[in-house]
Amino acid sequence: MNELEKLIPLHGGYRKLKSFQMAQLAYDVTVRFCDRYIEKRSRTHDQMVQAARSGVQNIAEGSQASGTSKKTELKLTNVARASLEELRLDYEDYLRQRGLAQWPPEHPALMRFKAKRCATLEQVRAWAEEERGGHTRTDTDSQGRGKNGNPSVPASVEVPERPCASVPSSAQLAANAALSLLNLACYLLDRQIATLEKNFVEEGGFTERLYRVRSERRTRG
């Protein structure tokens, strides 16, 4: 005998979602980044932190609400995606306005970062320290730019085992790492939203499920 459909299905497993994990790590990185490199009294500081938080919270809230409202889950997941897109633009603006390069996905430092599969802020910090050769540079200004005017490390085809001689600033490393995390989180959310849309169209929401459950129990009763 087939199992009866549940009126309220399993829901709220957001902690296992890769999109949530990446968004949460991007949030942790953003809080540290803003505290170090963005004026704390500026609107940009608050907006970046709030956008990062919104991404995390809306994924969680949408997952929890999915038990009774697929429409709410879809809406909140879209809000999370929009918040992370806003944050991504803030990081891109930070780099552009300070003459720091935004690295392409195949940049050696980013390839090493992705290979680390960082899951915590401490792991991201450890990667940054490795890229900077385990020491702190003194030739950067308060915005993380090189005083010698050299804003970035040129990309190369092969991935070197050690950081290049021209070491990027901590701010440049952190911003590009955050962008890498956000790119992955946004990609995962796009796929998640597409699946939610498909399921909603094919199966409906709570009202349709309530009708099916009632009909099935009347038939079996």
- Is pLDDT above 70 for 217? no
State the pTM of this model: 0.75
**Domain carrying residue 51:** 14-124+165-220
Query: How far is it, in rounded angstroms, from Cα 101 to Cα 92?
Result: 9
Q: How many domains does the chain have?
A: 1
Contacts of 189 (CB under 8 A, 6+ apart): 19, 23, 59, 77, 80, 81, 84
Residue 160 lies in a domain: no
Residue 5 lies in a domain: no
- Is pLDDT above 70 for 164? no
- Which amino acid type is present at position 219? T
Residue 153 lies in a domain: no
Residue 85 lies in a domain: yes
- The pLDDT value given to residue 166: 74
| 4 φ/ψ angles, rounded to the nearest 5 degrees | -65, 140
- The pLDDT value given to residue 14: 92
Range 90-117 average pLDDT: 97
- Is pLDDT above 70 for 25? yes
Residue 133 lies in a domain: no
End-to-end CA, the chain: 14
- The pLDDT value given to residue 137: 41
pLDDT in tens, 36-75: 999 999 999 999 999 999 999 999 999 998 777 888 999 9
- Read off the CATH number of the domain in which 24 is found: 1.20.1440.60
Any idea which of 14-28, 79-93, 121-135, 147-161 has the lowest mean pLDDT?
147-161
Q: What angle do CA 162, 168, 172 make, to 5 degrees?
A: 125
Residue 135 lies in a domain: no
Residue 4 lies in a domain: no
Query: How far is it, in rounded angstroms, from Cα 109 to Cα 53?
Result: 27
- Is pLDDT above 80 for 81? yes
- The pLDDT value given to residue 167: 83
Query: How far is it, in rounded angstroms, from Cα 216 to Cα 50?
Result: 45
- The pLDDT value given to residue 142: 42
- The pLDDT value given to residue 130: 95
Asked if residues 91 and 173 have their Cβ atoms less than 8 Å apart, the reply is: no
pLDDT in tens, 106-131: 999 999 999 999 999 999 999 999 99
Residue 136 lies in a domain: no
